[in-house]
Structure 1
């Protein structure tokens, strides 16, 4: 054996030992453990570089910081819930079905999420419409504007948003911007400097700091929240960038779903934003939660000039700071509660075993389960893993559709045309366990039916994943799907 061969063999042996020690020293579920072992062993040395940025868990200090703010913010949620109960509006009788009652209880127990009624909701499916409305609302702001996005790009749309905020900050409006540094590559200090100079406060979410010593690529701020003057709130799937208004040829039309909310739920969005903001900034820059804020009383509604709807909602956040996967629990509970139909739209279909079994069990129980995914990639491994699970689910009678009119980025779930979820969380392991996500769960048949009608419209631009279509997939494509599926826990 040559010296070179001996050295290589020694490196490989040491790499395997180091891989086993590195992965097993942290408590993980078994699929994730095997996935990381696969990466570290089959990518010697390089795999440890990947693990350094993508495999380490949140530091104990960061977890404590988030949990401390969670406890503080929860006091505001509890105050809201007590007020709602005082007025007997936990759930109106018309929507107080067993499924709705059980789901609301789940979120009260796992996320302290208050059920807030008297909301008007406007749905957006096209980024051009959404941002036209958002920019119009910004121009009307006169007290404060809070914005939180995973992605704010340094491009035409991102610059337009920043410049509008500069105008409002100069006019005395309190402007706060929270973004994810990894998701907003290109929008660095130079991009934000004019806004900060105008008096606004801009922060990268705390998990984005210290790029070498403390950077965790895996844990991203994926939430999308806007709060304007405690009167208007936004939540959904759109980020800020030209591709989200269909200006990128690569993606074509960008199909997403976003909510504009007026009513009591805006308070819950504000508290969630402040929890994220206060977890990021030093203690002396933290904002009070104003726990005396309460949903509008019947008397206030009667005299208000704002004509609100009645849609009850819960704002539910989840993230790696908690072992309770609140949004995933909600998805699974919704699917299990369905008696007629399940309609899911997600750009990334990489479920864990629990979510996978929920879909399959519903289908085998005779529920009409329909799943819509994109027909083009924005991340190659994720796209191939999505294809694998789409093929797999189709074996159980689940109707899978590939959207072909651009890129489908909507994260929506509707059951029985009665209960719906819209937010930032994809139907994948990353959103369930690794990202900081937020969704609105809506107990209103009218809104659920609007989302279902949008699903029907999207079907006109889809290819049904039939057995014949699956058979036409070549061996190389199948290999890429199976290989990507092995990496699912770390994608």
Structure 2
């Protein structure tokens, strides 16, 4: 039989090495095959999960292709950038929003707005759709008794912040994306320490990635003075994660529950426009006084509960009665992975679609999703004047290239695009029909709309809209307008680099 003709390995030393090599080779092939099979079974499971989420078909196909075509890297890209965070909430808003004081305040405001709904709807006309969008998506209360003050650049903003901190009597709540260990950062730290030593409650949240320069030597004196300091989602290697996960991009200050601030200015010397600190920074911040501050307070307490795993005992001292004679309609909208809907995105989308005459947008990062892009194009094509100011030179070459890839589509639809040349324009504002405007932390990009924690004030006020429009016109004096003819003459190398940058735009 053939079986008996096979030499025994132990009797033939010449065969032993070859057989052993072949055995190891086959064994290695078996393990490699099992690993590959296991990987693709796992990828298939993930792909089915993506499919079952019923998201945009283009996004779904894109991520599935990345998973199969880029081994290992595809999984990393998906888990960092592709997950639907709103279906995997980081934390629930329920505990804070169910608090007796907050519920009472919300119900009172809702009742007041409902009782005057017909008058308010007549005054706001189509902008009432924005109010409804924010309320239905995030229960954002429309507050009526408010005063406001626009703050230009760091020079005005820092002075107003320090003045409010100096006048604090009960508590100071601060939440910032960037706090740097420099002249401005230390000035604010020392002011907070002084107030804490005088008996004022001070709570301080900083983003661990945005504020990566903060070391123990900066924070230790704050903690020793009794300030409660908490980082937002600390990471081991912040330099490697600045663009890889959702961050707390908000800038919020609340003093005694009466005065609140939000906008684009971070706590850094670069915003002071001192020549020694680098190029000119153009920004916009907002000071609010009135019932809208209660909305800012609520969102701060939500974030505090997350970073601290508990919330302070919510008392009337955090939500005091505020006597404000002026009537200004303000809604504070917050969005992030904790919200059911992309609240700020939906409000901006609705505002654009309800515009009748004019849309003015200033943003440092313009990487719109398909919905915003189409809405702006449609508005311009319908005869509405749409103008956008972008920085001529961003703080990231890749982001700049991705932004520029959208310019031609804007120009072809009739949108007027301007590049700010005086320095870096970091303001995040929009004005619609001189009746609605927004100031806040949200950029016009994927990260702000879908990933980061952001907060914006939507103000339905002719006077503020006119003031922001005046600022827009003044900024145009430092801009150059882009024309379609000029844009088409760009060198091929730039156009190619912009197209490649656009491929990774959702990750920026």
Shorter-chain TM-score range: 0.7 to 0.9
TM-fit CA distance, 1:79: 2.9
| Correspondence 1:97 to 2:114 | no
Structure 1 unaligned regions, length at least 5: 302-307
1:28-427 to 2 correspondence within 5 Å? 29-33=56-60, 63=89, 65-69=91-95, 71-72=97-98, 76=102, 79-83=105-109, 85-86=111-112, 88=115, 93=120, 96-205=123-232, 207-208=233-234, 217-247=244-274, 252-283=279-310, 285-288=311-314, 290=316, 293=319, 296=322, 301=324, 308-427=325-444
TM-fit CA distance, 1:403: 0.8
Structure 2 unaligned regions, length at least 5: 1-24
CA distance in 2, matches of 1:388, 1:73: 47
Deviation per CA, 1:232-258, whole angstroms, max 9, x where unpaired?
110111111112223477861111111
Sort the Cα spacing of 1:36 and 1:321 in 2 relative to 1 into closer, same or farther, 3 A: same
Deviation per CA, 1:177-224, whole angstroms, max 9, x where unpaired?
01110111111333211101000101112x335779xx8942111111
Partner of residue 432 from structure 1, selected from 412, 435, 449: 449
Sort the Cα spacing of 1:49 and 1:63 in 2 relative to 1 into closer, same or farther, 3 A: closer
TM-fit CA distance, 1:35: 5.8
CA distance in 2, matches of 1:117, 1:142: 25
How many residue pairs match? The answer is 472
Please name the residue that 1:457 is paired with. Answer: 474
CA distance in 2, matches of 1:377, 1:200: 35
CA distance in 2, matches of 1:316, 1:354: 19
Contact 1:341 1:369 in 2 (8 A): yes
Larger Rg: 2
TM-fit CA distance, 1:46: 6.0
TM-fit CA distance, 1:54: 5.3
SS in 2 for 1:239: coil
Please, which moves more after superposition, 116-125 or 79-88?
Answer: 79-88
Sort the Cα spacing of 1:359 and 1:54 in 2 relative to 1 into closer, same or farther, 3 A: closer
Please, which moves more after superposition, 230-239 or 85-94?
Answer: 85-94
Deviation per CA, 1:50-72, whole angstroms, max 9, x where unpaired?
66655666598x82633434643
TM-score (norm 2): 0.83
Sort the Cα spacing of 1:403 and 1:59 in 2 relative to 1 into closer, same or farther, 3 A: closer
Contact 2:172 2:200 in 1 (8 A): yes
TM-score (norm 1): 0.86
CA distance in 2, matches of 1:156, 1:37: 48
Please name the residue that 2:506 is paired with. Answer: 489
Sort the Cα spacing of 1:380 and 1:266 in 2 relative to 1 into closer, same or farther, 3 A: same
TM-fit CA distance, 1:32: 4.6
Deviation per CA, 1:404-460, whole angstroms, max 9, x where unpaired?
111111111110111101111111111111011110000100001100110000111
CA distance in 1, matches of 2:216, 2:117: 44
Partner of residue 446 from structure 1, selected from 463, 469, 475: 463
Deviation per CA, 1:306-330, whole angstroms, max 9, x where unpaired?
xx53211000111122341110000
SS in 1 for 2:142: coil
Contact 2:292 2:331 in 1 (8 A): yes
CA RMSD, Structure 1 to Structure 2 (Å): 3.4
